[in-house]
Amino acid sequence: MNSESKQTRPVILQVLFSIVFLSLITSPIANISYAQKKNVKVTGVYRLLNEKRDGYAIWIVDGAAIRQNVYHEFVYGGNEQRYTFVPKGEIWIDNAISCEEYEYTVAHELNERKLMAKFGYTYAAAHDSSLQLEYKMRKMNSKLSRSLEKKLDKVSPTDMDGVKQLNDVKDSIELKNIYLQPLGKRDSIEVWIVDGSAVRKQLFPDFGFSGNDLVYHFIPDKEIWIDAKVSCEETEFSIQCELEERWRLSKGQVYDDAYENALMQTLESRKAKKNEAAKKAAIILPKELDRDTGTSDEK
């Protein structure tokens, strides 16, 4: 071995050692072990309580904070049967997912939790079962959306002021591949998740993240549309804002005032939700952060 090779070898070893060391300290196992040794209390996880369903509190949580401080592979959502750091009676939904994925994820987590808790399913089996449930829901919503569009009358691609933004689009057109998922009725108003990109391409380029039938002529009577790109954390605020704006418009209020008043009411709701989340206790990491087989302790 020449002198140049002797000098190069320590450098190569040092580089390899650095790579191995970095991979260890950034791996889930390394970070989780460090957190457990320190017995840390993790705060800043909860974003807002979105709803209660089947006896469970559905919490929107800060997915990035969980991946950074609790569990590096946390994605979409979680329940206490899979993740022991999730308190009982809660379902966690990652705030990074879209409103379109929210319903599928909640159904997935509730089904997965039940199969593990009641029947002792392994996580892998319960997870696969829940994916199949999602698949059925997605197909059903697609079929429902296409069926609805076939029944609808043609619409005008204009807003409440009669403004038409796409000159090469006909004055009366059919809605095609717009609807994605129903969110039920709110105050007798149908709420739908729609393909916002398709709306902007086919109907109105200035369509924002939501809209209602009294502002846009292309939205059918007594409907509110929520853009599928809206995050699950923003969905309920968007619906609330549209409902309030629509109600004020129906009472004869001018658009600018209706919009501003709706925003102010939504701001109060945001503050209330933030205060509610701030009262949640810190998460104390257990010794084992996940389990591969359900407890089967529910009858």
pLDDT per residue rounded down to tens, the chain (299 residues): 444 444 444 444 454 444 444 444 444 433 444 445 456 789 999 999 999 999 999 999 999 999 999 999 999 999 999 999 999 999 999 999 999 999 999 999 999 999 999 999 999 999 999 999 999 999 999 999 999 999 999 999 999 999 999 999 999 999 999 999 999 999 999 999 999 999 999 999 999 999 999 999 999 999 999 999 999 999 999 999 999 999 999 999 999 999 999 999 999 999 999 999 999 999 999 989 999 999 999 98
Report the b/e string of 259-272 with b at 16+ CB within 10 A. Answer: bebbeebbeeeeee
Query: Where exactly are the structural domains of the chain?
Result: 3-38, 42-139, 153-274
- Domain spanning 42-139 has what CATH number? 1.10.10
Could you tell me if 82 and 74 are in contact, meaning their C-beta atoms sit under 8 angstroms apart?
A: no
- Burial zone of 163 (CB within 10 Å; 0-12 exposed, 13-18 middle, 19+ buried): exposed
Instruction: Decide: 70 and 85 in contact? Cβ < 8 Å.
Output: yes
Alpha carbons within 13 angstroms on the beta-carbon side of residue 165 total 16
Global model pTM greater than 0.95: no
| pLDDT for res 131 | 98
Distance of CA 188 to the CA centre of its chain: 24
The pLDDT value recorded for residue 263 is: 98
The pLDDT assigned to 31 comes to 45
List, in sequence order, every residue forming a beta bridge with 227; answer none if it has no partner. 194
- What is each CA distance from 96 to 99, 170, 200, 208, 239, in whole angstroms? 10, 37, 23, 19, 18
The span from the CA of 299 to the CA of 286, in Å, is: 25
> Which of 21, 88, 60, 55 minimizes the C-alpha distance to 297?
88
Read off the DSSP letter of residue 287. S
Taking Cα atoms as reference points, which of 48, 40, 50 lies closest to residue 71?
40
Beta partners for 77? Answer: 93
Cα 28 to Cα 142: distance, rounded to the nearest angstrom: 37
Residues whose CB is less than 8 angstroms from the CB of residue 73 and which lie 6 or more positions away in sequence, other chains included? 28, 67
C-beta separation of 58 from 52 below 8 A:
yes
